[in-house]
Amino acid sequence: MVLNNITAFQFFSSVALGLLCFKIVNKFLPWVYVNIIGPYFLGPKLNIRSMGGWAVITGSTDGIGRAYAKALAKRGFSLVLISRSLSKLEDVAKEIENEYKVETKIIDVDFQDSIGIYDRIKAGIEGLDIGVLINNVGVSYPYPEYFQTFYQQNPKVLLDMVSVNIHSVTHMCALVLPVMLSRKKGLIINVSSSITSVPAGLLTLYSGTKAFVDKFSEDLQTEYRDSGITVQCIKPGFVATKMSKVKASMWCPTPDTYVASALNMLGYTTTTPGYFPHHFLEIPCDFMTYLTCKPFVSSMFLKHYLKLRKSALKRLSQKK
């Protein structure tokens, strides 16, 4: 078939090329802007300092939370540090006050405890001009439960994980939002995990709690975008902390490197891995899923986790 000297093949290949170009312009270029050009070349879109005088950080005595505390103190925020161990809180508060000359308040609570802890936190933050909330506190499985299948897990471990990883996020947002809404500005950063983007059988509850944080953040942002509130959900891959027990490298940054990068991404997108190399870790999984199918990729991941479990249990039995 020939249409005015153009063959059907030429016609359809032009349409296909046009669609491909449209897809690139429509999907890829905004992705490059939001994840690379914006954060790395233009800097954060959001003036975090204008949000208010105080920042509240949960899980602030170690790892990512402590790095956020230092980064915000460096920008002049006074801090409410909330964590479990009083002595560690006192040490971190003293270190930050000395180094950055900002005011700090500490609240020692265990997020595994019952709802009463939120009355203590409410009393502790009363009257403060809170501009930033970092919902960072989170727990994974204690070793060796890490390697047990879901039904074998201690029910107390399951309950505590939901209390720390989910209830802390919802209740802390409910406590600070009225202050932020009254001033029509505020920033809430919720810490999820890249585990929500890959199959995670054997880490089922942990990944489920983090998936909650993703969806909750997206919808909270929709609800309060027009009220001047910015919500950012960060989804780190491995960061070199006590929780991950992984050494620092390009793929596993120190908490300070990770937080500096995530703060640069503020204002571009609600959900982000927060650190450029962590974007790449999702690509092989997406690619395999695209080429094959999700159940196949999930079972490959599960086989890998089962191998890890086998060698960990072997190590454990050799230690005994």
Ligand X SMILES: NC(=O)c1ccc[n+]([C@@H]2O[C@H](COP(=O)([O-])OP(=O)(O)OC[C@H]3O[C@@H](n4cnc5c(N)ncnc54)[C@H](OP(=O)(O)O)[C@@H]3O)[C@@H](O)[C@H]2O)c1
| Interacting residues toward ligand X by CB under 6 A | 59-65, 83-85, 88, 110-112, 136-139, 164, 191, 193, 236, 238-239, 241-244
Smallest distance, Å, CB 168 to ligand X? Answer: 8
Query: Rounded to an integer, what distance in angstroms lies between the CA atom of residue 178 and that of residue 175?
Result: 7
Amino acid at 242: K
Residue 163 Cβ vs ligand X, minimum distance, rounded to whole Å: 8
Q: Would you call 268 a catalytic residue per the annotation?
A: no
Residue (of 71, 59, 157) closest to 108 by Cα position = 59
Per the CB < 8 A criterion, the answer to whether 234 and 192 are in contact is yes
Closer to ligand X by Cβ: residue 185 or 254: 254
CB–CB of 263/38 below 8 Å? no
Cβ(199)–Cβ(303) below 8 Å: no
CA nearest to 108, candidates 95, 92, 129? 92
3-state SS string for 95-113: HHHHHHCCCEEEEECCCCC
In angstroms, what is the minimal distance from the CB of 206 to ligand X?
A: 7
Dist CA 305 CA 299 (whole Å): 10
Smallest separation (angstroms) from ligand X to the CB of 57: 9
**Measured from the CB atom, is 11 or 256 closer to ligand X?**
256
- In Å, how far from its chain's centre is CA 161? 16
> For ligand X, which is the closer residue by CB, 181 or 205?
205
Check: CB of residue 112 under 8 Å from CB of residue 160: yes
Is the Cα dihedral 119, 123, 124, 126 positive or negative?
Answer: positive
Closer Cβ to ligand X, 2 or 283, answer by number: 283
Question: Which stretches of the chain are DSSP H helices?
Answer: 8-23, 29-32, 63-74, 86-100, 117-125, 155-162, 168-183, 204-224, 255-264, 276-291, 294-319
Q: How far is the CB of 303 from ligand X (least distance, A)?
A: 22
* Between 88 and 105, CB nearer to ligand X: 88
Given the complex with ligand X, which of 181 and 285 has the nearer CB atom? 285
- Report the relative pairing of strands 6-7 and 2-3 from DSSP bridges: antiparallel
Q: Which residues contact 241 (CB under 8 A, 6 or more apart)?
A: 62, 63, 64, 255
Active-site residue, from 68, 100, 141, 206: 206
Residue 233 Cβ vs ligand X, minimum distance, rounded to whole Å: 11
Residues with a catalytic annotation lie at: 206
